[in-house]
Structure 1
Amino acid sequence: MRILIYGINYAPEMTGIGKYTAEMAAAMAAQSHEVRVVCAPPYYPEWRIPQGFSSRRYASELRDGVRVSRAPLWVPGRPKGISRLFHLASFALSSLPLMVRDAFWRPDIVFCVAPSLLNAPAGWAVARLSRAHAWLHIQDFEVDAAFKLGILQGSFLKRTALAAERALMKRFDTVSTISNKMLERASEKGIAPARLVRFPNWADTSLIYPLARTSRLKELLGLAPEAVVVLYSGNMGAKQGLDVLAAAALELKDHTDLAFVFCGDGPARRVVQDACGAMPNCRIIDLRPVEELNELLNLADIHVLPQRADAADLVMPSKLTGMFASGRAVIAMAEPGTELFDSVAPRGVVVPAGNARLLADAIRRLADDAPERTRLGHAGREFALASLSREAAFGALAARMNALDAARQSGVQPLQQERESS
């Protein structure tokens, strides 16, 4: 099949949506599909374009058997509110000529990745022009999250944005997302069950696995060999609630047997730096290259996943897959009834979102209980192998695409088939 993937984020971004989109595209190409990608140059989570890429010029490359076309975009220094919208709009506009060009390639599937929904109208239009199956994959419910997190405000703007989102989503032949709760949210927005697919994020359990030794990064960072390392690794943005983790670290600043490592970049890194950067038992470091990812995740004795309560079930933190795969204990901030709570509670420690004192207490208790850390780490690893592997994640995707391919070869239009079954 010919598959056109359209999304702002892509490799070599090492975290977030770009990582998963690139791995998915490479896996499709390895299955003998013809795959093209229209995306932006890498900028996330640092919010700057690295050397070797341009924010002003179109470019193309062949990566892992995939033809990748990059459209220019504007990257704000401080991505907030209206500046973030201009950023997304700049890519939606600049990528349009590439999408029109690829309509003449006659793809069988146009696979749009959200964020950003601003791309979706062009993706849907190209699918219709080329008589392709229009597929929308939702990593975050960005409209809901933007208003709940205060990135966007105003009741009229909210009603307008939600109405436009609903109308747009209902036009796609297939809508997929990464968790059961997010599927429920999509259903509440009017998407027929027959058009919904669960396509979760995954961990490469052969690349990320428990080490039988201490991570080399511990010595490299100047941490005491006996220190219990509390690690946060990933994007440092508004959704992550890093101010709560920083406050918990301050609560434990005199506990010299603990070491806190914050790894990543983004708008909230300055908050972390100002709050606890001067602590002798705290390290704030950049993302490590992909070949050091397993060393990084095994640096943790305790992984911590902070999360703002108002973002619950609008996003499902992708970093959780690697945490479990590493075989290290996990503490997450989540509320009962959310998918994050249900995922972590049987095999980790869950504390209420937004409460730094309770988070600090949970870190202290788990730091004092090495056998419990080991037990939780084993449970998380087993869960990753059973439910979060690439093979498990690609099962639903492959089944849906095989059905679409069979319909195409039999002469049944995918859109018609979808409507008849719904």
Structure 2
Amino acid sequence: MNILFLDAYYEPEIIAYTHLEKDLIEGLISDGHKIKIICPTPTRGISQEVRQKYKNIKYEEKYNGSVVVNRFMAPSEGKNPIIRAIRYFWCNWYTYKMAIKYTDVDIIFSNSTPPTQGVLSALVAKKLSKKKGIKVPFIYNLQDIFPDSLVNSNLTYEGSILWKIGRKLEDYTYNHADKIILISKGFKRNIMEKGVTEDKIEIISNWIDLDSVHPIDRNKNCLITEFGIDPNKFIVVYAGNFGAAQGADIVIKAAKELQEYKDIQFVIFGGGPYFENAKNESKDLKNVFIHELMPQNRISEVYSLGNVALITCKKGTGKAGMPSKLWSIMACNTPIIASFDTGSDLADVIKDARAGKCVEPGNVFALSEAIKEFSNYQGVKDVDLRKYVYYHAGRRLCVSSYIDILKNHIY
């Protein structure tokens, strides 16, 4: 099977999907398939030196020739949303010009970052099908629902021009994709309400490599000595962004509420647009240690550090997806307290796995009380959360499911 990946981002770039695509590609290669990737020169999550290096690498063979990467020159991404949108369309146009020249493509695969990627993939599939005289199917991996995500982040509102454009892109993609792979039941409910039929949908969780993410004994955790954290305290860990949709400001508010409980220590690894605010608000709190996000390869240390780990969202946004950190925390066998929408996929997993407790988002009192409750009996360490992850979000299981879908759609 010859698979064409149409990527807006590819390694060495770092986005939330990077490690998932790497695992998928390696799984496909092991199954005997060939992959072609079209992508722009890297821009996100890399240094200027790396970007300069890849300006001269337009063609690359990887995995002993099983993967061929064709890059084209593209401007840096920047932070201005208008300029970024223009760049997306420009990259889509250039990708289309390159993709329609291929004749040895059996199937097209793309994900939803950016949201124009689905329309691009549908148009390429249509053109190649016409050229070959046989249908070239298009498999779409929906990682983020646009424009809903913009509404949840307060970047637009339902009924705005931007929202209407997003809905047009969304409808065109869903109508022309042969199969849509979703990451949660919440996503399924969302797009079925928009008219997508159930037979077009498959749910496969974003996965985790249990060999890479695992529990680390506190007395062997380097973060304890590196940052001078008291190992005898009840440690509450939060790791993630402080942004419009995360509702992570509640972590600082809970720390303020629990200042008098000397045995409870908050350890925060953060980033995002409101992280500086969080640092300023917590600077006088003796029960808070706060630091920038740690590298991905230290995630086991981060979540093993906690007697409990926190997951948060802004009220009303939790049903839009499943935070991938859930599986990382559970892989470290660490209990969870979620300030998260009840009725969400995350709340259902926490209940089903007996992984912890979910309280109303934005309710500082409820979160503080849950932390006190857990500190009294040290959480749910007697439950094997890793076993649950293995059967629901293990790498081997999920990658195999992707491969089966791709193979089943070859005409």
Pick from 256, 261, 264: which aligns with 2:267?
261
The residue type paired with residue 114 of structure 1 is S
Paired with 2:56 and 2:275, the residues of 1 have a C-alpha distance of: 30
| Other-structure match for 1:87 | 84
**Which 5+ residue runs of structure 2 have no aligned equivalent?**
130-135
| Other-structure match for 1:72 | 74
| Other-structure match for 2:278 | 272
How far has the Cα of 1:125 moved from its partner? 1.4
The answer to whether structure 1 residue 144 and structure 2 residue 145 are counterparts is: no
How far has the Cα of 1:57 moved from its partner? 4.5
Pick from 93, 96, 99: which aligns with 2:93?
96
| Matched pairs, number | 395
CA contact (8 A) 1:11 1:42 kept: no
CA contact (8 A) 2:360 2:366 kept: yes
| Shift in CA distance, 359/103, structure 1 to aligned 2, threshold 3 Å | same
The answer to whether structure 1 residue 331 and structure 2 residue 333 are counterparts is: no
Matches within 5 A, 1:302-381: 302-345=308-351, 346-370=354-378, 372-375=379-382, 378-381=383-386
Matches within 5 A, 1:50-61: 51-54=49-52, 57=55, 59-60=57-58, 61=60
- Per-residue CA deviation, residues 174-219 of structure 1 (Å, 9 max, x unaligned), is 1111011211212222222221111210111111122244311111
| Shift in CA distance, 87/134, structure 1 to aligned 2, threshold 3 Å | same
The answer to whether structure 1 residue 292 and structure 2 residue 294 are counterparts is: no
The residue type paired with residue 18 of structure 1 is T
How far has the Cα of 1:278 moved from its partner? 4.2
CA contact (8 A) 2:6 2:37 kept: yes
| Shift in CA distance, 186/253, structure 1 to aligned 2, threshold 3 Å | same
How far has the Cα of 1:59 moved from its partner? 4.4
The answer to whether structure 1 residue 134 and structure 2 residue 161 are counterparts is: no
CA contact (8 A) 2:7 2:38 kept: yes
| Other-structure match for 1:193 | 198
Secondary structure of 2:140's counterpart equals: strand
**Which 5+ residue runs of structure 1 have no aligned equivalent?**
78-82, 409-422
| Other-structure match for 2:109 | 111
| Other-structure match for 1:382 | 387
The residue type paired with residue 365 of structure 1 is E
CA contact (8 A) 1:230 1:300 kept: yes
| Other-structure match for 2:173 | 168
How far has the Cα of 1:232 moved from its partner? 1.9
Moved more, 315-324 or 151-160: 151-160
| Shift in CA distance, 87/259, structure 1 to aligned 2, threshold 3 Å | farther
CA contact (8 A) 2:43 2:77 kept: no
CA contact (8 A) 1:10 1:42 kept: no
The residue type paired with residue 253 of structure 1 is Q
| Other-structure match for 1:246 | 252
Give the % identical residues.
21
| Other-structure match for 1:417 | none
- Per-residue CA deviation, residues 128-184 of structure 1 (Å, 9 max, x unaligned), is 222221121111113112123311136242344324422332111111110112112
Moved more, 386-395 or 98-107: 98-107
Paired with 1:275 and 1:63, the residues of 2 have a C-alpha distance of: 47
The answer to whether structure 1 residue 225 and structure 2 residue 231 are counterparts is: yes
Paired with 2:372 and 2:57, the residues of 1 have a C-alpha distance of: 50
The residue type paired with residue 74 of structure 2 is P
Paired with 2:61 and 2:240, the residues of 1 have a C-alpha distance of: 27
CA contact (8 A) 1:333 1:354 kept: yes
Paired with 1:353 and 1:55, the residues of 2 have a C-alpha distance of: 45
Secondary structure of 1:229's counterpart equals: strand
Secondary structure of 1:204's counterpart equals: coil
| Shift in CA distance, 125/87, structure 1 to aligned 2, threshold 3 Å | same
The residue type paired with residue 5 of structure 1 is F
- Per-residue CA deviation, residues 65-107 of structure 1 (Å, 9 max, x unaligned), is 6444555354444xxxxx3353244134135324432332332
| Shift in CA distance, 22/156, structure 1 to aligned 2, threshold 3 Å | same
Paired with 2:8 and 2:236, the residues of 1 have a C-alpha distance of: 32
